[in-house]
Amino acid sequence: MSEIALSLKQVSKKFPIYDSPLQRLWEAVHPKRKKFHREFWALRDISLDLEAGTTLGVLGQNGSGKTTILQLMAGIMAPTRGKIEVSGRVATILELGAGFNPEFTGRENALLSGLILGLTPREIKGKLGEIIAFAEIGEFIDQPVKTYSNGMYVRLAFAVAVTLDPDILLIDEILSVGDTYFQHKCVRKIRDFQEMGKTLVYVTHDVESVRNICHQAMILDYSRLLARGEPGPIAARYLALIDNRERERASLGLPSTPGGEPAEYSRYGSKEAEITAVEILDDQGQPRSVFKYGEDFQLRFRIKFHADVERFVLGNIFRNRYGFNVFGTNADWLGLPTPDMKKGQECLVVFHHRANLAGGTYSINPAASVVTGNRVYRTLDWINNAAIIEVVNPNPMEGYVSVPTRIELENVGSASGVPEENGPGKIG
C-alpha cells in the first residue's frame, strides 16, 4: 500500500452569511441568542485519500468550494465537520494577496514563510539565494510587497513555496498570472517536484493544464465532490457540465457565466452564422478520413449567415482522443482578411494541412466567430467533435505534432586523435 499524503473524511465547511454588519452585531449581543445569519455550506461531506507522489487537479465553477478545500488542506481553516490528516510539510500558494504581509519586504516575507514551515533561520538563509534567483525580481526583493505587481508577487510566492522543499504543495489558480516565460519555468519546476515524488494539489479553471500536468482530477460542484478519476475523462465531464449549463442559461435568456468553455460532443454559439457542412478530403479532392503520416489533406467548412456579421473568422482545433488540444489556428491569427458578411450569404472556408501528427485519431472542432478585440472573439457557432480523422504513422516520436527536424553529427576525429576523411554526417 502506498503512503497516504492527504486524507479527508466526511469534511464539511459552513460559513455564516450576514446581510449587513449590523446583523452580526445584533446576533452577538442579543439576549436570547437569536440568529440573524443564513448558513452557507461551502463544502459538504468530502472524502478522499490522496497517495503520496500524486498530482491532483481540482476543477469547478466559481463558488464550488475549490479554494475552501485548499485552505482546509493547508490548515488555514478548520472544518465544521469531518477530519483532515496531512502527512508531511505543506506549502501553499493561494490567490494574490494571501500569505504575505504587504508591509514586509520580499526578503522578510520569505524568511517568515520558512519559519511558518518549521525551518530554522539558518536553513532559510541558506535558501534565500535560490529563492531570489528563481523569482528574478532583482532589487525589489528588498522592497515592500505592497509595491509589487501581480506578476512580481506570483514570482516570489512560487519561488518561496517550491524552494523551501515541502512534501505537499497546494496551488490555487496562481499559474494563470504572470508572463509566459515564468509560467513555463513554474511548470518545469512542477515536473521536477513530480519526479521527486512530491504530492501536489492544483486548483484551477484551466482544463488543459489539468490534462497535461495532473495524474488525477476531481470536480467540485455546488460544494460536493461530483466526480474523481483520470484527468482526460474528468476534464471532458467538466466541459460537458459547463456546456449544459450555458445552454440552459441561453434558453432562459440569461448571459453566459464567466469562464464557460465548450464541451465535448456538443455545439453552442449565438447562431448568427451556422456551420452547415464539414468535409475531409485528400489532396485529389476525394473524401477520406484516414491519412498516412505526411499526406496532404483538406478540411472544408461551409457557413451560412443568418444575420449581418462584421469581421468574420473561422478557426479549428485538432484534439486527440483524450480531449487534449494538439493544434489550433484561425484565419485572423494567420493574418488573413476578416470580411463583413451579409444575412443570407454563404461561404466556403478551406484549411490545407499536412498530416504531420503522431499515429492516432483526432477530432475536428471548428468555430465560426467574429473578432471583437485583439485575439478576442465572440462565438457564432462552435461544433465539438464535428468529425474524426485518423493518422497512420509508423515512426516513433514523443508528443503529437512532428516538428521538421534535421540533426547533424560532425565527426571531428577518430579515437586516436587523427581526423577522419568523411565530413559532417546528417541524420533525419
What pLDDT, on the 0 to 100 scale, is given for residue 259?
Answer: 42
Q: What is the mean pLDDT of the chain?
A: 84
Q: Where are the domains of the chain?
A: 4-88+167-238, 269-428
229 pairs with which residues across the strands?
Answer: 217
Task: Output the CATH code of domain 269-428.
Answer: 2.70.50.60
Query: Comparing 52-61, 293-302, 356-365, 411-420, which segment has the lowest mean pLDDT?
Result: 411-420
Q: Which amino acid is at 361?
A: T
What band does 155 get if pLDDT is binned at 50, 70 and 90? Answer: confident
Task: Output the CATH code of domain 4-88+167-238.
Answer: 3.40.50.300
On the question of pLDDT at 1 being above 60, the answer is: no
Query: Comparing 108-117, 132-141, 178-187, 361-370, which segment has the lowest mean pLDDT?
Result: 178-187
Q: pTM to 2 decimals?
A: 0.62
Burial of 233 (0-12, 13-18, 19+ CB in 10 A): middle
Q: What is the rounded average pLDDT of the residues 369-397?
A: 88
The order of strands in the sheet holding 90-93 is 90-93, 168-172, 199-203, 55-59, 216-221, 224-229
Cell of 187: 511548470
Q: What is the rounded average pLDDT of the residues 81-98?
A: 82
Q: What is the rounded average pLDDT of the residues 349-369?
A: 93
pLDDT tens across 18-58, in order? 877 887 887 777 777 778 778 889 999 999 999 999 999 99
Shared fold status for 4-88+167-238 and 269-428: no
Q: What is the rounded average pLDDT of the residues 288-317?
A: 95
On the question of pLDDT at 415 being above 60, the answer is: no
**Distances in Å between the alpha carbon of 257 and those of 59, 220, 222, 247, 261?**
16, 17, 15, 11, 10
